[in-house]
Structure 1
């Protein structure tokens, strides 16, 4: 029976040795997560900006829906995507079940409402400052959205960061649609769950440390970009 100190020491040794298996798991996790966040931003940023900048019938309902979907249960999303991609589902011919693509789809569904709802709030506050100026310039809808997104770009980095945090920590949905297949769909979170259940706490802890390190690095990069932008603005 290993002591707590032994487990930590062995976990750090695994990280320092950085074998091929560990590298593959981390690389796949980042590929799936970053792909999902990118797709979520491509969908959620314009959607949130439109809802935040314009008044239209059903806007209130859409806002409530986006806020509600921020709390989507991952296992429900995983089950929905599984049913869509399974042999009896409408998307069965695509043969995406138990592939990284299925995991990206599930994570995108989970992250997009978060990105859209947070973007809506950021853009809505900003639009109040520019509404009269936009009206005087006679800008079209897409021009307003583009201008607002560009002006709020540093605040929207935080929005993307929230989406990244949601995606990188996901277990339930990716486990259902990915199957946790070794060397195919096994990512950091599902490996941590599996190895913990097997009693292989050294590998689970090593991946946990790597996961936390990635989160810290991404946060630090976003903060550095925002800080450099502030310095440039006052230079």
Structure 2
């Protein structure tokens, strides 16, 4: 009965327009989208370069990118905290316990995911795509955009996975952001805080928001993939 009451209170809280609750949601969305806007172009270019270029140390770079996928976010938060602290090399930026610091942490968390997924997508592409583009006199930039267009659903999956990783992480956000109400309190840090205080209603409400985001974004990807298959079948 206690669980049912908490769930009922969670829905009531969501539909009541509670300012504090929606501020938390806004901060999470804002920081996550900005982090992805920064990380995605860098990671897609890096993933493509790793898949198509041969250079000394390439295997080591790929290995490091893959190892980074398994690093705990709290460890990334610790390293970033040391870098952004007053005694750290980037302390002058004053990003610690600010949204800028949270975004920086999310960029570091998203980069390995985006690079690894883009690398896998480009490596799986038909090599004849690039060869045909080159034979037709396409520039290196044109070849890249052609290949990336062909593997666009893999890249989209990378972005979605990266979004899911940054919006759902808690360790780095707490260490670098400090869980400050109205500034750096995100959905996950709020869930951890409110649950520890025994306020299960807000924790469940924010959890429902996370689930809704996950379902909506993945549904959009599935629809896009379905439309693409339909077009190919018709042709």
SS of the residue corresponding to residue 56 of structure 1 reads coil
TM-score (norm 1): 0.93
Q: Which residue of 2 aligns with 1:109?
A: 108
Q: Which residue of 2 aligns with 1:61?
A: 60
Q: How far, CA to CA, are the matches of 1:155 and 1:60 in structure 2?
A: 22
Q: Which residue of 1 aligns with 2:97?
A: 98
Runs of 4+ more than 6 Å apart: none
Counterparts of residues 113-124 of structure 1 (less than 5 Å)? 113-124=112-123
Residue 20 to residue 203, structure 1, CA distance change in 2 (3 Å): same
Counterparts of residues 119-130 of structure 1 (less than 5 Å)? 119-130=118-129
Alignment check: 8 A CA contact 1:49 1:148 kept:
no
Q: Could you report, residue by residue, the CA deviation over 1:90-133 in whole angstroms, capped at 9, with x for unpaired residues?
A: 21221111111111110110110111011011101215232432
TM superposition shift of 1:185: 0.6
| Structure 1 gap ranges (5+) | none
CA RMSD across the alignment:
1.6
Q: How far, CA to CA, are the matches of 2:37 and 2:222 in structure 1?
A: 19
Q: How far, CA to CA, are the matches of 2:3 and 2:182 in structure 1?
A: 29
Q: How far, CA to CA, are the matches of 1:23 and 1:111 in structure 2?
A: 24
Q: How far, CA to CA, are the matches of 1:28 and 1:183 in structure 2?
A: 8
TM-score (norm 2): 0.93
Alignment check: 8 A CA contact 1:53 1:145 kept:
no
Alignment check: 8 A CA contact 1:75 1:173 kept:
yes
Residue 104 to residue 18, structure 1, CA distance change in 2 (3 Å): same
Alignment check: 8 A CA contact 2:130 2:147 kept:
no
SS of the residue corresponding to residue 126 of structure 1 reads coil
Q: How far, CA to CA, are the matches of 2:228 and 2:61 in structure 1?
A: 33
- Aligned pair count? 234
Alignment check: 8 A CA contact 1:53 1:127 kept:
no
